[in-house]
Amino acid sequence: MVEHYQIKFLDKSRETLNPQERANVIEQTNTLKHIRGNFLDYIIEIELIISILTEDFMIHKKSNLRKVFRKNILNNKGVTLKQKIEILSEIIKEKKVLKESDLKVLNRNLNSLRDDRNRWAHGVIHFKQEKQGQNIKFQSYLNYINSEGNESEIILVDPYFDDLTSKFNITRNLLVRVLVKRGFLSKDYLFKK
């Protein structure tokens, strides 16, 4: 099995892992692979909701053009997630489906999640040996190429994941409100926990 991570050591003279360190890195790697998979699943769910709403707003339910619209717009690989977000945002703004403040939050979160999706889909997980007090720990990072073409990294710690989870929950709740207004879900759905 190929290991998909890199390790940067503090002490270049000791570039091997003892069994406990290796087990720790493998455990962290497996956890991060699981997180990556779940993250991409959530993004796919959000993209699907964007597609459903865009189609519903733009094409009449009985129109013969639904297949054409799906094939040439929604499922076209040339149409990026950024473009889909922009289209839905303009529709929601025009139709006044959300308050302006909610729309701003939705746009900010969707674009931020899109950037995170690109980082997770194309980035490399790596570990750095870091001294924390008397202990040496392997800290995980996500290494990626940013929008300016430069190498960047994110330290993978609880506050980062908490922020990501918050953005997902807020975004999903806003999209669910639009789904309810469009009749895809009952109003009772908003009050389910």
Report the share of the chain in percent with pLDDT over 90.
53
Task: Please tell me the distance from the alpha carbon of residue 193 to that of residue 186, in angstroms, as a whole number.
Answer: 14
User: Does residue 59 surpass a pLDDT of 70?
Assistant: yes
Task: Please tell me the distance from the alpha carbon of residue 187 to that of residue 173, in angstroms, as a whole number.
Answer: 13
Task: Please tell me the distance from the alpha carbon of residue 3 to that of residue 122, in angstroms, as a whole number.
Answer: 16
The four Cα atoms 54, 57, 60, 61 give a dihedral, to 10 degrees, of: 70
Task: Please tell me the distance from the alpha carbon of residue 165 to that of residue 170, in angstroms, as a whole number.
Answer: 9
The answer to whether the pTM exceeds 0.75 is yes
- The residue among 7 and 148 whose pLDDT is bigger is 148
DSSP 8-state symbol, 6: E
Task: Please tell me the distance from the alpha carbon of residue 126 to that of residue 35, in angstroms, as a whole number.
Answer: 15
pLDDT (tens digit per residue) in 135-144: 777 888 999 9
pLDDT (tens digit per residue) in 108-128: 999 999 999 999 988 888 888
